[in-house]
Structure 1
């Protein structure tokens, strides 16, 4: 019979019988011959078909990549183990009448045996394309999709073995169809290429254009077929998980244990399905992109073609992760809940590796086929390395990411609905923050530090897409991720080009950023000059780059370094230091109230600088009560409003210091002490000072509130306005203190020129220390240091310690402004008068000698009178 007749007969048989009856019969016959060691009974046709379709079905595993790292080799070993297990289940017997004497299977074999080598090659070529088309029509897949496994179905051995055999056989047929489709495309491509090279003349423009159109259609058809086969394979592969796992580990469990075991296996199955869904999405995207590939004539080589691939092409498939989970930590996490968790995840990893190796090698192989016949030019993404970029994001989301890494949960456990919603809200909030592109928001208070934090973009991406993080349920589609990242970077004002929704966008973009634009954070390496080998088709050489992940030890070190970098954001408010914080806050409040009480009590301190300093103390007390007491204990108002109040009061305290420093400068300049002011003049000047303080403070606060409440995109501008006001205020203080120092030095120099010499020192060491601390407090430099320290935001714990240090300002103010040589003696004498009003200390005598004599006489007559009575 002619090859065309054989193909027609095969097509008729396949159309008349379910699934792959013909090839099943051929392989059943071939395997029986091998078992009986009667290989000599096979004709060269049977031998070639048998080795091509029945033995070497794991042909992708026969490829070798030079300089292959440890991890992909481990993945390939797992894929080989699973393939051997699936293929070892044996083919089901051929349909009734198929293998018997005179059956249609024997008839097909009888038709194949007389074929020559050339005819056999033609049969194989047609058969490769035919079996792929037949499988795409779902004839190779049994109708067992979405099988619900329960205790009854799993414990029914006959049903379970039947379904497992059917599913394994379906996976085998899909892999055979995939391999056939690749070989079909390779043969078709080489035929066109040989025709092009065999022509003695250069092709005309019309011939070249027709060749380009044919190639594009064929290429699009190829990836469309692979996407459909992959979708079938993903469904069947995930269906294999539960029955395979039961036969390995679940058949000895009690009914109660089995119920929980099935629930856990369904969760692992969902994880596997999520990963495989990403693969399906990637091939579907490739299929759509292939239609827009540009093919043009090579100007340097007339008659040759250049294939210009866009960024979103099949080359991105190599960035798909090699493992279902990052490491074996899931097994350790779930050990208490499920003792067999390690075997569960191991089997799921094997299934994913089996799937990953087949489809990744398929893309690599067909890519290498085109290399020698087409010049492939890939589009480069013109975007610089993003390893050092920073973003300002909400600390609540960062805290959630850090907690997920520091205290990971077993993925088999049911998360509370509140936790699920919190993760989704966090993904939306993070994406909203990333879209704002705020590189750095100034921190004007510790409360602001707990609201916003500046995070490295690449580290944030790793924190978001880590295996333990908030993106576990989002399918990993590499092509969609790159598309979304490109939209994010190249269309900052138009996010409508995103293919991911607002909830999943942060996961999608973070994966692309991390893999492609973060050199310091990437675990992907590139190997050059690799050779691919196929045992069936012979040796095929191709020099190209291959992507792979770091080897195991380096990967662990890499992840440990990222974990350490992440955990520095741990606990923006440390619970273990809460008692210490409360103690510091109470001490600060007590001493500030004490300082304010002293200034209210002593008449000598009720001058203009004293009233200004008292206003400064009252402002600081109000700030502490609002931020450290009302907000932290009562939780009101909301955090953004609390940050506004805290920043505004910080600015007001700085402006009070401006007024205080100016009064110091005015007193020194005019040589007029504050005590020389009359009460009416004092009240008038203080009212004017209050007006001068509140006018600029109100302007800055209104501007900041208007910016922040108008739009969250203006948050950075509102913080800049407040920070600029604080900085200008501190600068004014430093200028005033500098002028005071200049006038002192000038006066001292003038006295020396006038030969005026005084043996008295300017001040003792203790007084110099007190004045230095006073100068720092009055200048507001401590506020700038605190704010500057918060800007660094390097380690949350140190920032928290800095916050505790600021609580010591109350005692320091009391010591410097009350416990000095002027105020403390007056306060001591006033307190002593409470205990003994008759004991008048020196310096507090009454105004005239007559009054002093009268008081002394009354003191002397009192005991005499008492005794006479």
Structure 2
């Protein structure tokens, strides 16, 4: 037969019957001609298609090989069977008989193969044959009509229903495995033909490169589809396969629970494999971005330039997921067979990872140059994040839960909210957000970026349900670092972005946080004739499921320094804190009541100080009572209200300090103004205060509400406003002190002396404390502690100490020689109206004589009557 006719005939047979005719020819070569065959066509077909692996390797933890559960027996049915008869040198008579049978059974394929020569078109010998193998499997390999099979307890317990379906699924799995193997062997023959050629001009070279890259992209595209078929098949196969080899003998209730748990194991395994399939599919899209160019230093040699997204990223997929090692102990109480379930999942992952996934390394080039990702080591970078979410991460690591049980809906929603919140925090890129409220301090933690990435993507973290796609992770991470203002380039949604970017950061840019730990892993060889052999121990197999000692130390320090005091949840100090808060509120109300009750304190400074007290009361009620006890409003609003009221308190102190300065500057007493004039001046002071306060609050709220990324700028505006306000107080108080010293010096020069001192030690102490309170320095100290990092316990004590401000204000502004006697006499007068104090006696001797005369006249009138 003419070579072209032989090729056409074989292509027609392949199109009609798929790879079954090639399998027939391979069986003939093995049983009759002897490998690799006699003719050129047989030899070429043997090396290009028939010679697939005779054994498949599965890597498992060595202790899994012990009875009663054997991994080899469970996964062996997925391995494609070899020839029915071992390859052996045939005898002459047998050869003639079997040759006649094969020629009839193969439908002319054997004759077409033998008709192939070296002049046969190359498309049959290389990529066209590979494409036919893959495309045939796309249509014929899946088990038809079984996608909707529901593996419940009743179906599994019924042998005559389970066995046929399981057999068909296993047969489909073997067909897919066979196609992947054959596709890989075909792809190995794809080499750069221009390497063996010489004298290619630039046009011919580029044409050869384009053809090569197209073939390489085709291989990865077909591989992605075949792997997707494998994973889809496995989703239906895993539950009955596990039941078949578990020796399950249980009642209906136990079997129902077993099925539920096995379904969860299947979801976990498919999550791992689906990310892997996505990466292979993404790689096929990246191949056209490869560049091949001649090496200028070495003529005749070629350089392959690859983008960051290349096949090397596939090596970051865990070689051994170690479900069994991580979760078996956690799930033994709920499911005694958890070790077997997770062990089977590990073995199947290993089977797919090492046997159904072949990396095609580029050939024909002398050097490979990869695009560099311009990002430094991030091991020492820090990030300010939500403390609630970090607490959730720490709790998940300290108290991991069994993944077989469905998480409560509230827990799932909390994890998703935290993923969104952590992503928002990462986008802001703030090492430490300045705060003016203790509420904000308790909700922010400065965390090492690599530690956060490890805590987020750990096996026990909040990203368990997000597929591990390394291609997508690197793409998202480059978008995050290279395009901070443009988030449209992200491939992940807002819920999964933190998981995707954290994986890339941890694996590629956190050298000090590498979590490699050797596992005791053994290899099991599964042969196509159904036998197996064990075991070679491979101590070098690594996994990412265990943290380094350094990472654990980071977590311990983080928990001890910040998270332990989050939301004031310190049981021993909780009653003390509640008591101090209650005392603070009571004494603030008492001070405000005194200033409202006594007419002498209703002057201009008194009304300003009363406004200061009312503002403090509202602030405590909002932050300590409403938010802490009732949970309203939301945290962001509560922090805004608390910071705004802190600023307003400082502004009231500005007005009070200015009045002190004005009184001394103009030698005017606070009571010189008539009540109507005092009210008018107070309204003017309120207007000035509210204008300044509204400007700062409006700017902060506008920034924070219009764009959540401007949280830092909003807090800085508040901090700057408070700092300027307190600075103004200090200037006013400094001027008051300067004028006192200057006046005292002037009186000394005038030789004016008095036996009365400026004040006693008690008076000086009272004045010093009042000056500190009015200056607002305590507010700056409190905010300074809020800004500190790593001393959360001191901050907590500082917060409790600020609750003493109410009693201090009452003592130093009410219990003094000027105010306390007024309050005492007023209360005594209410108790006994006939008591007349010194301040309430008549103003002159004439008035007293007139009153006395009137009394005498009334007495005389009564006696005359």
* TM-score interval for Structure 1 and Structure 2 normalised by the shorter chain: 0.7 to 0.9
Q: For 1:475, which of 467, 480, 489 is the aligned residue?
A: 467
Measured in 1, the distance between the counterparts of 2:154 and 2:563 equals 49
Q: For 1:657, which of 653, 658, 681 is the aligned residue?
A: 653
* Change over 3 Å in CA distance of 1:712–1:818 after alignment to 2: same
| Match in the other structure for 1:544 | none
* Change over 3 Å in CA distance of 1:580–1:844 after alignment to 2: same
Matches within 5 A, 1:741-752: 741-747=737-743
Q: For 2:56, which of 37, 58, 61 is the aligned residue?
A: 58
Deviation at 1:296, TM superposition (A): 1.2
Q: Secondary structure of 2:216's match?
A: helix
Q: For 2:242, which of 237, 242, 245 is the aligned residue?
A: 245
Measured in 2, the distance between the counterparts of 1:373 and 1:438 equals 45
Deviations 1:599-646 (A, max 9, x none): 233444344333321221112112223333344455554544444333
* Change over 3 Å in CA distance of 1:359–1:247 after alignment to 2: closer
Deviations 1:416-465 (A, max 9, x none): 44554554455445545555656655423234446776665544444443
Measured in 2, the distance between the counterparts of 1:210 and 1:418 equals 58
Q: For 1:86, which of 65, 71, 75 is the aligned residue?
A: 75
| Match in the other structure for 1:341 | 338
1:380 aligns with 2:369: no
Matches within 5 A, 1:710-749: 710-747=706-743
Normalising by structure 2, report the TM-score.
0.77
Measured in 1, the distance between the counterparts of 2:204 and 2:312 equals 29
Measured in 2, the distance between the counterparts of 1:760 and 1:359 equals 101
| Match in the other structure for 1:610 | 606
- Answer whether contact 1:58 1:83 (CA < 8 A) is retained: no
Deviations 1:208-241 (A, max 9, x none): 3343233222322332232233223333444443
| Match in the other structure for 1:863 | none
* Change over 3 Å in CA distance of 1:232–1:673 after alignment to 2: same
1:284 aligns with 2:281: yes
Q: Which sits farther off after the overlay, 282-291 or 439-448?
A: 439-448
| Match in the other structure for 1:512 | 504
| Match in the other structure for 1:774 | 770
* Change over 3 Å in CA distance of 1:345–1:761 after alignment to 2: farther
Q: For 1:268, which of 259, 265, 268 is the aligned residue?
A: 265
Measured in 1, the distance between the counterparts of 2:830 and 2:445 equals 53
Matches within 5 A, 1:70-81: none
1:223 aligns with 2:215: no
Matches within 5 A, 1:649-728: 649-679=645-675, 681-728=677-724
* Change over 3 Å in CA distance of 1:794–1:853 after alignment to 2: farther
- Answer whether contact 2:515 2:545 (CA < 8 A) is retained: no
Matches within 5 A, 1:32-431: 45=36, 53=51, 56-58=54-56, 82=71, 86-87=75-76, 102=97, 107=102, 133-134=132-133, 136-138=135-137, 139=140, 142-143=143-144, 146=147, 147-157=149-159, 160=162, 167=169, 171=173, 174-175=176-177, 177-189=179-191, 193=195, 195-196=196-197, 202-249=199-246, 251-324=248-321, 328-358=325-355, 362-363=358-359, 366-367=360-361, 370=363, 373-387=365-379, 401=393, 404-405=396-397, 408-417=400-409, 419-428=411-420, 430-431=422-423
* Change over 3 Å in CA distance of 1:610–1:89 after alignment to 2: closer
Measured in 1, the distance between the counterparts of 2:770 and 2:474 equals 57
Q: Secondary structure of 1:615's match?
A: helix
Deviations 1:516-559 (A, max 9, x none): 33445453699xxxxxxxxxxxxxxxxxxxx9867876546635
Measured in 2, the distance between the counterparts of 1:395 and 1:750 equals 59
Matches within 5 A, 1:517-532: 517-523=509-515
Measured in 2, the distance between the counterparts of 1:25 and 1:211 equals 32
Deviation at 1:344, TM superposition (A): 1.9
Deviations 1:847-868 (A, max 9, x none): 5679999999999xxxxxxxxx
* Change over 3 Å in CA distance of 1:707–1:292 after alignment to 2: closer
Deviations 1:749-783 (A, max 9, x none): 66777788889887666655544433332111222
- Answer whether contact 2:394 2:455 (CA < 8 A) is retained: yes
- Give unmatched runs, 5+ long, in structure 1: 34-40, 62-70, 527-546, 860-869
* Change over 3 Å in CA distance of 1:289–1:183 after alignment to 2: same
What is the root-mean-square deviation in Å for CA atoms of aligned residues?
A: 5.2
Q: For 1:573, which of 567, 578, 588 is the aligned residue?
A: 567
Deviations 1:650-681 (A, max 9, x none): 22111110111122223333444434555455
Deviation at 1:581, TM superposition (A): 4.2
Deviations 1:378-426 (A, max 9, x none): 0011133445555666666556555555554433223444554554455
Measured in 1, the distance between the counterparts of 2:687 and 2:612 equals 15
Measured in 2, the distance between the counterparts of 1:786 and 1:681 equals 37
Q: Secondary structure of 2:299's match?
A: coil
- Answer whether contact 2:585 2:806 (CA < 8 A) is retained: yes
Measured in 2, the distance between the counterparts of 1:232 and 1:598 equals 82
Measured in 2, the distance between the counterparts of 1:281 and 1:725 equals 52
Q: Secondary structure of 1:303's match?
A: coil
1:627 aligns with 2:623: yes
- Answer whether contact 1:129 1:181 (CA < 8 A) is retained: no
Deviation at 1:169, TM superposition (A): 5.8
Deviations 1:342-364 (A, max 9, x none): 3322321232233234467x33x
Deviation at 1:103, TM superposition (A): 5.3
Measured in 1, the distance between the counterparts of 2:623 and 2:832 equals 42
Q: Secondary structure of 2:255's match?
A: helix
Measured in 2, the distance between the counterparts of 1:580 and 1:778 equals 27
* Change over 3 Å in CA distance of 1:504–1:261 after alignment to 2: same
Q: Secondary structure of 2:732's match?
A: helix
- Answer whether contact 2:657 2:729 (CA < 8 A) is retained: yes
1:561 aligns with 2:554: yes
* Change over 3 Å in CA distance of 1:738–1:521 after alignment to 2: farther
* Change over 3 Å in CA distance of 1:571–1:476 after alignment to 2: farther
Q: Which sits farther off after the overlay, 286-295 or 17-26?
A: 17-26
- Answer whether contact 1:481 1:509 (CA < 8 A) is retained: yes
* Change over 3 Å in CA distance of 1:758–1:172 after alignment to 2: farther
Measured in 2, the distance between the counterparts of 1:255 and 1:27 equals 46
Normalising by structure 1, report the TM-score.
0.77
Q: Which sits farther off after the overlay, 44-53 or 637-646?
A: 44-53
- Give unmatched runs, 5+ long, in structure 2: 519-539, 856-865
Q: Secondary structure of 2:191's match?
A: helix
Measured in 2, the distance between the counterparts of 1:845 and 1:24 equals 128
* Change over 3 Å in CA distance of 1:5–1:46 after alignment to 2: farther
Measured in 2, the distance between the counterparts of 1:704 and 1:822 equals 41
Q: Which sits farther off after the overlay, 710-719 or 837-846?
A: 837-846
- Answer whether contact 1:474 1:507 (CA < 8 A) is retained: yes
Deviation at 1:265, TM superposition (A): 0.6
Measured in 2, the distance between the counterparts of 1:637 and 1:245 equals 51
Deviations 1:288-314 (A, max 9, x none): 110221111111111211111001111
Measured in 2, the distance between the counterparts of 1:726 and 1:356 equals 60
- Answer whether contact 2:328 2:338 (CA < 8 A) is retained: yes
